[in-house]
Every structure is written in structure tokens, then in C-alpha cells.
A and B are shown apart, each in its own frame.
Chain A
Amino acid sequence: MYAFDIERPSTIADAVKALSDEDAQALGGGQTLIPTLKQRLAMPATLVSLTGIGEMQGVCIGDNGEVCVGGATNHATVAAETASSYPGLSGLAGNIGDPAVRNRGTVGGSLANNDPSACYPAAALGSGATIITNTRQIAADDYFQGLFETALDEGEVITEVRFPVPEAAHYEKFVQPASRFALVGVFVAKYADGVRVAVTGASENGVFRWTEAEAALAADFSAGALDGLSVPADGMISDLHGSSEYRAHLVKVMTGRAVAAC
């Protein structure tokens, strides 16, 4: 680790101000950033901690019935507080990492980082969520832009995420055995106006929607509707833990299981 200063603002406005310094960086739960600092792979002059900002904490129900999660809310809180309002989201949050990770890691940090194997991106894209920042609202479909790439600008802060609540949803995760992130994770959500299928862990471009499956499931919401569909191995991640063919195969298996569990 290199030496750094830490600021602990209590309002979004103060945080944004502190982050306007180009050597400042936002700190959520630190579950990704702190290990990176420990390995001396990043050298921010100032860390701006977001977890003390009251307006970025907690879960509530919005005017249109959507589940609204403060950007600095940790995974354990989301798991507990959405258990009845959005069980599919609660299940996903409750199965991230281990208790220590869930008590620290935040939804804003996870979405800002956009790790290609992280779980939250699947929930956000699969729910058609809206990512709210200090300056604007971004539709999930526009937000994820590839490996560790998002629509966020420098210094922009995710203050809230709004998840429209589906009729049924389930996240099926096949874990990468070491990190326990998703080797392949599929979030399936059935809405009145259609089905969304978001896949994480698999693609070299990060989270994506499997649109063929969405169409098939919109017509017939059953695992059998996927028969005959397949995901091409092209563009899938190939690493120590699985080839691109294996991942492409798992996308279908996990989608089927998610549908069956809905």
C-alpha cells in the first residue's frame, strides 16, 4: 500500500466535491479497492469514503413500487431488507462472497467496478434497473460497457439503484471454485411485459442479455422453452476454470435452472 489521505463526507454534495480532485477515489466497502491498494496496483492520494453518507444508505419502496437501494448499502442489508419485496434480488445479494464481504461490499461499488464475474450487474441488467448518480439517471441497458467499463464519468457517484420488481425472478450462480464469484451466473426476471435474462461471468464483454432466451421464455416461461437454443462459445471467457465452450454450455444450464426456480 502507498500512503493516502481519507475523507469521510456525510453528504453526497461533500463527497462529489472531494472527488473533484483528480487523485481522489471513491471508497465503498473496499472489498475490491483495498486489496488493489495492498498490492500497490493503485495510488490514489485521497480516498473518499461513501459509507457514512446517510442519503446513500438503506432500502425503500419507490413511488412506482420499485425497490430503491442506496448506493452505499451493503450486500447483507440488501439481502435482509428485500427478502419479501424482491426475493430474487435478496437471494443474489445473500450469496455474494462470505459474511465479511457482504457486511462491507456495497451495491454502488459493485456496479461501479463492473467485474465481469460479479453478481450485481446481472441483477441490474436483468431487472432493467436505473442507476442514479449525482448528475443523472442511467438505464442499465446503457450502463454496462464491457470489462470493468461503465457509463460513469470520472468522479461520478452512484447514489442509488432502482430495481423494478418482477412477477418472478431467480439468480442461478455456478461458482468459480476459488473466488466464489460467478463462473457463470444467470438472472432471469419475468415481467408483465416480457422476460429479461442477464448473464454474468461468461462473456469477455461483461454482463449481457441473452435475447433469444428472453424471446423464447416470453412465449413459454418454462425451462423446456430453451430446448434448441444455444449460446455461441465465441467471445466467452476461457481461463483456468473453464473453456469458452464450457461457459457457453453453462449459460443454458443455469438459465434453465433459474427459470425452473422462479
Chain B
Amino acid sequence: MPKDGGIGASTTRREDVRFLTGKGNYTADINTFGQAAAIFVRATVANGVIKSIDTSAAAEMPGVLAIFTGEDFVDVGGNPAGWLINSRDGEPMKEPKRPVLAHGKVRHVGDAYAAVIAETEQQARDAAEEVIADIEELPAIIDMAAALAGDAYVHDEIATNQCFDWGWIEDNRAATDEAIKNAPHVTTLELVNNRLVPNAMEPRASIGTYDAAGDSYLLQTTSQNPHLTRLLISAFVMGIPENKLTVIAPDVGGGFGSKIYHYGEEALVLAAAKKVGRPVKWVADRTESFLTDAHGRDHVTKIELACEKDGTFIAFRTETLANVGAYLSNFSTATPTFLHGTLMAGNYTVPNVYVNLKAVFTNTAPVDAYRGAGRPEATYSIERVIDMAARELGIDPVEIRRKNFIKPEQYPFGTAAGLEYDSGNYDALMDKMEAMVDRKAFEERRKQSEANGKMRGLGINAYVEACGIAPSNLVGVLGSRVGLYDAATVRVNATGNLSVMVGAHSHGQGHETVFPQIVGEMLGIDPQSVDIVHGDTSKIPFGMGTYGSRSLAVCGSAVVRATEKIIAKAKKIAAHMLEAAADDLDFTDGQFTVKGTDKSVGFGDVALKAYIPHEFPIEDIEPGLEETAFYDPANFTYPSGAYACEVEVDPDTGKVTIERFTACDDFGNVMNPMIVSGQVQGGVVQGIGQALLENTTYNADGQLLSASYMDYVMPRADDLPFIAVDHSDGTPCTHNPLGAKGCGEGGAIGSPPTVVNAVIDALQSGGKNVTHIDMPLTPARVWAAMNNA
């Protein structure tokens, strides 16, 4: 049993006290003396040539301090893509410049082409209405296939709408084609992975401050990774030296990926702060969030599964168009490629996999990583086509998966999609899931539903994903332009309490609770005496931040390494205090003890000694007790799961009701089961939202029809069932010191195909010949599918 809130205890989240009592400190809560307001003037058309922008009337409006247009930023850099992808023919991807403010052309509704700085937000809004732009509207490029076929371009300078044409693994293409040609059975499915709007509860916000005395800048912003944002602004966009720019991400109200990226508004408030000599603040409204936060998913895929008549998998082959929107967001080229194609073997021993993916520019908001990022797209394709194949072959959906699972004794297992999975036990997860859903009694429940005039279905799913991103050496070979380590500094204060500075950023994940559990356990001290410091580049070591379920696996491992260094040094000091050799000391429950004696000294006394180094071997040991570790993992971590969903479908209206949802996950060793349950449930809710509700729609003119909560359907409590979760008995990760696998995204990865499989099962049981419906499975779509069948 975990003791005293250490590793494995379901410690209550300490950060919730401030969040739930309104004491959080979000960017919009920060107000500084003399601050001015920025308002952006945004395109109302999806594609247009900026003929002229007349700011003279706006400049005369009350309170206006400055007005910026794209012209002001032609000499600074563009916001870059963080990952270089080469096409199948070896050509590097197309990287059109993404300017701070649109210049020459606007490329999506919401694209900012001017910004007004005024004394107050109201004055800035009033003046923004007086910015007169002559924008010649061009036909919008929205549909991906049409974008590739047409001769009008989102970026004229590259004369194509194709960013790249990627093959994975190109050397396996011929063998996969051959295997499919000769296969006894091939199931083909065309599907859409629907575009999602991230909808963090807190809209983006940024405050720029310039200190003329030191020629230095401060950016307070809604970021998941302040160091990455600083690096992008310094090295690529503005050229501000890193030592002259501090980035602080205070409390952040959710990100889900959308706050990984650097956005032009951040650069603008910095430039504006210098120009007007006052802090400049911008807070997005909800419409701006809908129109300009990087969206997620948006793939159109054809997947083929070739198999033997007995259900043994022979090959997966996919052809995908992936929307990158109007500009390349920072990870937009990695998400559909290395976070997607590499997962296309799923949980299976399938020998052949080939993925072809074309990334396409369109006049829509940029698309980038959103909770799961690439892996939900892979899992959805694989697990939908497997379900369809099982039905065609008359094989039970659980059995066909079990038949092809990688078995526990096969790890480490190199998949046909190029990854090496370190550990897992997919059959055990299936066993647990089947027991939890009481599958044997399902037919009874189905009869009950039928008696009530409803069709009932059971959908099941298996997933594996690659997260805890990841080894810098590996991602470097794959095209990453950054490293993906993380860092922690453990500072033991003289009086024995600790400040731990971490590179990961907590915006809902619970780091402030979990990291102290780890440090407390290792040092044998009360976790309450450990505080986490994060989100401020002037205080924390250079870390890469929070995304890709990496905070525990990567940054948590850095915390472990730094704490080990603390123990090693403290042991030397203790050895001196106890007049023994360091090797002769045991360290348990916060006490250094000379082996086989009762001579001991407590950790707190050692800390005090480190800072009041009287009678201290100053020649051998430095005073102080503070250590930093950078941790770069050897591999991704590979969490996996077996999910089940039971639905009822109303045959009269097409409405789907989720009756039960079960998630059995393997996250390796679990530090705080309660927080992990919350992560899974939150992820599942987002997956259910994608599967049933979230219908991001651009019309042919490039207007976002679902641009408010009156039309964009977020999952609400009454849309959701009780979500049963289990993540006990995981198989530990073999390469990080905690044995932990990332848990932040599994729920969102595993759930969409589970829900869709369940709905198809229900329709089939009701005698409807429906084999696939594209997400979201709205009542109208389900009804239309039933009635066309």
C-alpha cells in the first residue's frame, strides 16, 4: 500500500483548492499599471488579396496608441514548422511563410491582418471597426481533393496545395501491395476523421511587456510550453535574444494541444509593447478561439485490411489526405506522419503495413495536434476496418483481435510500422474488459432494449499508442527540429523543504500533486513539504513542456534523476556527519543509517548542514543541496487499452444513447490512480464528443458554420454514461525509472472507434444494412444511414 501520499496514493489534487475557489491566476486575470489593449482585425473571407489597408481613420479614434499591419512584420521571420517531412520522392515539404500578421493575402476566416492598440479594449474595438481594408475575395479552397486537383493555390509562391506526399515505410510499399493482391480476403473502408475545435475553457491570452532599461521583454501567455514558445520567438520570429525574453505561462485553463503552438498574437503584443512603451494585453473572445486556435484531426482515409479467411491479418494499407489548413502550425507536419503512420500496425503482429499520406493546404484554420494527435486517427482507421472485416468473415470482434495480438512473450516487439513496443499484455486487458462489461449477459440487455423499441449494440476496441515523446536522437532522424527531453531542478532549502522546478507545464494534469508524491516517496519525507514551480522561463530549467502524454514519463523521470543526485550528495554529507563511508549508509524513510548500527541522521539535518557548512569537508563537497537533471528517454512509452461501449439507438429518430462505457488501460506503474482515472474519463468524454457530437463544418465559401456553442456541440454531463475505468496491473515501461506510460490521451484515442463500432452493431442487430457512418454520428446522420440502407 502506498504510504503518506507517496507513489501510488490517490492524493487529492492540491491545485484544485485554488482552481475551485476562484483563486487561479490566469493570464486574463493579470492587470498591470499602464497596460493597453490589443484587438485584432480579422478576415471575414476565407481567401482574398489584400489590395490596401487604410488605417488613417482608425488612428484618429479616441485612445488609439498604434496600429499594426502585415507591412510592419515583413522584415521579421515566420512562425516555423517544427518537423521536416520529406516526400516519397525525397523532396522536402513545402513551407510557406506564416507571418505575424497576414500580408498580401488573407488565407482563412479569422486570419488577422491588422491590430489596434488603444488605451482600453472598448476603444481598440471601436477603432478596429474603422480599419478599412480593400480585400478582393477569391474562391475559397476548402475541399482537400479539389485543392489537390485545382490550379488555385492557398500559397501562390509554392504553386501547389500539397505540402508533402509521404510514404511510410516507403521500402515496404511493394511488399504490402503484393500481399494485398494475393490475399484471400480484403476489407476496404473509406472514412473521415472529423475536424475538431479544441475548446479549451480558457481562451488564449497574451500580455507583452518591454523594459527599456534592460532592453528585455516579458511575455505572459497561455502556453503549454513556455521554453518552446521563447525559442520560437527568439530564434525564428522576432530575433529577441533568449536571455532578453522571459516567457511565463501562469495558470492555464486547458490546452489539449492548442496551446503548444506559438501564435502571431504573442509576437504582436511584444512588438506593440516596445512601440507604445506600455504593457499590451490581448484576450481572445470565444469566436476568435473557434476561428484561430489550431484545430485537430481532419483526415480523409481509405484503409484496406488484407487477411486470411480465419482472420489472420496480412496487411494494412492506407491512403490519407490530411488537412493542414492555411498555414503550417508548429507540429502540424509531425502529427499526421510520425504520430500517425508509425501506429498503423496497432496491437497486432501484422507483417505488412504501408501508409501514404498527403498533407493539403486549404483556406481553413491551421490543423495540428489535439489530444491524441495522430494516434486517434490511426486507431480509428485500424479498429473500424477490423470490426468490418470481422463482420464480413463472421468472426467475433474480440476473437479476431486476440488472434492477431502481439503476445506478452514477444516484447520487445518491432512492428511492421517501424516502432519497437517495450511491453504490454493485450489479452489480459481484453479479459478484464470482457469481465467488467459482463459480456455474457449482453444478449439479455439487448432483448430488454428491443422490448423498449430500441436497438442495442456493443462495440469493442483495442488500442496502443506511442507517447511520452520522446527520444531526441530518434525524432531527430525522423525530422524533428527540436529535442524532446525534459528537465527538473530539485532545490532542497536549508530548512528541509523543497522547491522542484520542472520543464513540464501543468494545465489540468495535476503535476503539483503528483511530482511531490514521487519526490516525497524517494526522500522519505512528507510530499506536502515539496512545491512544484513551473511555467516561468526565468525560474525553471529548459524543458520542452506538456503534450504527447510526456509530463510524467519524461519530466517525471527527470525529477527522479535529479532527486537521485540529491540523495547521492546528501549521502556524502551524511557520511561525513556520521563519520562513516558513504557506501556503508542505508537511506530509508528519510534517515541515513550506518548499516548494522543505530547511528543515523535525518534528511532535514543533512539539508541544514549543506547550507550551514560548519565542520564541512569543503574540499570534497560543495555546500548547498540543489541538483538538475535532463532526461531524454530511450523510446516512446506504449500505453494500451481494451474498451467497450454499449449504445441504444432510437429507430424513429436515429438518436444514439450511450448506456455504458468501460475503459481498461495499461499505463504501466500508476503514480496517482485518482488522477489517472480523471485523465481517462476526460479523454473518453472528448472521444465521445468526436464520435457523436462535434461537427466542425466549413461551407464552400470557407465560413465556419459551427463557430459558436449554439452550433458546436460539446459533450455535456447528460450526454454521458457512467464511465467505468480500470488501470490496475499495468505492464511497467521497461526504460524509464518510474515504469510509467503516458495516460493523458489514451481515453481520447481508444474511445471513438468503440462508440462507432457499437452503433454499427446496434443497427445491424436491428436489421439495418449499415456498415459505416462518418463521425459525428448525429441523429440526423444515423437516421439518414438507416433510411438509405
Contacts A/B (CB < 8 Å), 10 sampled = A40-B129, A177-B779, A178-B710, A178-B712, A179-B710, A179-B711, A240-B711, A245-B784, A250-B653, A253-B653
Of the candidates B706, B719, B783, the one having the most CB atoms from chain A within 10 angstroms of its own CB is B783
Could you tell me which residues of chain B, from 650 to 689, have a CB within 8 Å of some CB in chain A?
652-655
Residues of B within 8 A of A245 (CB): 784
* Cβ–Cβ contact B697 & A240, under 8 A: yes
Q: Is the CB of B652 within 8 A of A253?
A: yes
Tell me the complex Cα distance, A179–B716, Å. Answer: 12
B236 on interface, CB distance cutoff 8 Å = no
Is A177 a contact partner of B713 (Cβ separation < 8 A)?
A: yes
Q: Is B764 engaged at the interface, CB distance under 8 Å to the other chain?
A: no
Q: A3–B125 Cα gap in the complex (Å)?
A: 12
Partner of B709, one of A39, A178, A239, A243: A178
CB within 8 Å for A242 and B711 given contacts A174-B653, A177-B693, A250-B653: no
Residue numbers in B under 8 Å from A241 (CB-CB): 711, 778, 780
Whole-angstrom distance between the Cβ of A173 and the nearest chain B Cβ:
12
Give A184's nearest chain B residue, CB to CB.
Answer: B653
A178 touches B711 (CB 8 A): yes
Q: How far is the CB of B539 from chain A (nearest CB, A)?
A: 38
Provide the bound-state CA to CA distance between A242 and B125, in Å: 36
Per the bound structure, the CA–CA distance linking A178 and B776 in Å amounts to 13
A-facing residues in B91-134 (Cβ within 8 Å): 122, 125, 129
Question: How long is the Cα–Cα vector from A239 to B695 in the complex, in angstroms?
Answer: 12
Q: Mark A231-262, 1 if CB is under 8 A from B, else 0.
A: 00000000111110110011001000000000
How distant is the Cα of A239 from the Cα of B712 in the complex, in angstroms?
13
Chain B contact surface mostly: loop
A221 nearest CB across to chain B (Å) = 20
Q: List 8 extra interface pairs beyond A177-B778, A246-B784, CB under 8 A.
A: A40-B125, A174-B653, A174-B779, A177-B719, A178-B706, A178-B713, A179-B710, A242-B780
Closest 6 CB pairs of A and B: A242-B780, A178-B713, A179-B710, A177-B713, A246-B780, A253-B652
Residues in chain B near residue A246, CB distance under 8 A: 654, 779-780, 783-784
Within 8 Å of chain A (Cβ to Cβ): is B705?
yes
Separation of A250 and B783 alpha carbons in the complex (Å): 10
Residue of A nearest to B699 (CB): A240
Interface residues of B in 257-299 (CB under 8 A from A): 287
Bound form: Cα–Cα A40–B653 in Å: 37
How far is A178 from B780 in the complex, measured between Cα atoms in Å? Answer: 14
Contact between A240 and B695 (Cβ–Cβ < 8 Å)? yes
Distance between Cα atoms of A194 and B350 in the complex (Å): 68
Q: How far is the CB of B47 from chain A (nearest CB, A)?
A: 22
Give the distance in Å from the alpha carbon of A253 to the alpha carbon of B784 in the complex. 15
Residues from chain B with Cβ under 8 Å of A253 in the complex = 652-653
* Chain B residues, Cβ within 8 Å of A40: 125, 129
Bound Cα distance A12, B125 (Å): 36
User: Chain B residues near A250 (CB, 8 Å)?
Assistant: 653
- Minimum CB–CB distance from B709 to chain A (whole Å) comes to 6
Are B693 and A240 neighbours in the complex by a CB distance under 8 Å? no
Expressed in whole angstroms, the Cα–Cα distance for A196 and B652 within the complex equals 23
> Beyond A177-B778, A179-B711, A246-B783, is A240–B706 a contact (Cβ under 8 Å)?
yes
Chain B: number of interface residues, binned into ranges: 20 to 34
The answer to whether B783 and A249 have CB atoms under 8 Å apart is yes
In the complex, chain B residues whose CB is within 8 Å of the CB of A243:
780, 784
Bound-complex Cα distance A249 to B778 (A): 15
A148 CB to closest chain B CB, in angstroms?
A: 15
Q: How far is the CB of A224 from chain B (nearest CB, A)?
A: 14
Complex: A239 Cα to B711 Cα, angstroms: 10
* A133 vs chain B, min Cβ distance (A): 29
A185 → chain B closest CB, angstroms: 13
Q: Shortest CB–CB separation between residue B783 and chain A, in angstroms?
A: 6
Segment 196-243 of A: residues with Cβ below 8 Å from B:
239-243
Measured CA separation A239–B655 after assembly (Å): 17
User: How many whole Å from B291's CB to the nearest CB in chain A?
Assistant: 13
- Among residues of A, the one whose C-beta sits closest to the C-beta of B126 is A2
| Contact residues, B710-728 vs A (CB, 8 A) | 710-714, 719
When chains A and B are docked, how far (Å) is the Cα of A3 from the Cα of B123? 11
Shortest CB–CB separation between residue B455 and chain A, in angstroms? 16
For residue A250, which residue of chain B has the nearest CB?
B653
Please give, as numbers and ranges, the residues of chain B lying within 8 Å of A240 by CB-CB distance: 695, 697, 705-706, 711
**A101 CB, min distance to chain B CBs, angstroms:** 12
A residues near B783, Cβ cutoff 8 Å: 246, 249
- Nearest neighbor of B706 in chain A, beta-carbon distance: A240
- What is the bound-complex CA distance between A257 and B71, given in angstroms? 61
Name B783's closest neighbour in chain A (CB-CB): A246
Task: Write out the residue numbers on chain A whose beta carbons fall within 8 Å of the beta carbon of B129.
Answer: 40
Tell me the minimal C-beta distance from B654 to chain A in angstroms. 8
A240, B194: Cα distance in complex, Å: 14
In the assembled complex, how far is the CB of residue B58 from the closest CB belonging to chain A, in whole angstroms? 16
- Distance from B421 Cβ to chain A, minimum over Cβ atoms (Å): 38
Residues from chain A with Cβ under 8 Å of B654 in the complex: 246
Q: Which residues of B contact A179 (CB under 8 A)?
A: 709-711
Which residues of A165-194 have CB atoms within 8 Å of chain B's CB atoms?
174, 177-179
User: What's the nearest-Cβ distance from chain A to residue B62, in Å?
Assistant: 12
Q: Convert B128-145 into 0s and 1s, putting 1 for each residue whose CB lies closer than 8 angstroms to a CB of A.
A: 010000000000000000
Interface centre among A177, A240, A241, A246, by most chain B C-beta atoms within 10 angstroms, is A177
- Cα of A240 to Cα of B713 in the assembled complex, Å: 11
**A40 CA / B695 CA spacing, docked (Å):** 26
A41: min CB distance to chain B, Å: 12
Distance to closest chain B CB from A141 (angstroms): 29
Within A14-73, the residues touching B (CB, 8 Å) are 39-40
- Report the bound CA distance from A245 to B788 in whole Å: 12
Residues of A near B778 (CB, < 8 A) are: 177, 241-242
CB distance from A5 to the nearest CB of B (A): 16
A240 to B695, CA, bound (A): 8
Contacts of B695 in A (CB 8 A): 240
Q: Which residues of B contact A242 (CB under 8 A)?
A: 778-780
Q: Which residue of B lies closest to A238 (CB)?
A: B780
CB-nearest residue of chain B relative to A252? B652
Cα distance A3–B126 when bound, in Å? 11
The residue on B at minimum CB distance from A178 is B713
Task: Give the residues in chain B near A178, CB-CB below 8 Å.
Answer: 706, 709-714
**Chain B 753-789 interface 0/1 with A at a Cβ cutoff of 8 Å (1 = within):** 0000000000000000000000000111001100000
Q: Kindly state the separation between the CA atoms of A253 and B453 in the bound complex, as whole angstroms.
A: 14
Docked complex Cα distance between A179 and B653 (Å)? 18
CB neighbours (8 Å) of B125 from chain A are: 40
Chain A residues contacting B784 (CB-CB under 8 Å) are 243, 245-246
Shortest distance in angstroms between A123's beta carbon and chain B's nearest beta carbon? 22
In the complex, chain A residues whose CB is within 8 Å of the CB of B719: 177
B779 contacts across to A, CB distance below 8 A: 174, 177, 242, 246
| Complex: chain B residue closest to A117, CB-CB | B710
Shortest Cβ gap from A255 to chain B (Å): 12
- How many angstroms from the CA of A40 to the CA of B780 in the assembled complex? 33
A40 to B126, CA, bound (A): 10
Minimum Cβ distance to chain A for residue B256 (Å): 19
B714 surroundings in chain A (CB, below 8 A): 178
Shortest Cβ distance from A29 into chain B, in angstroms? Answer: 17
- Who on chain A is nearest to B650 by CB? A253
Whole-angstrom distance between the alpha carbons of A245 and B653 in the complex? Answer: 12
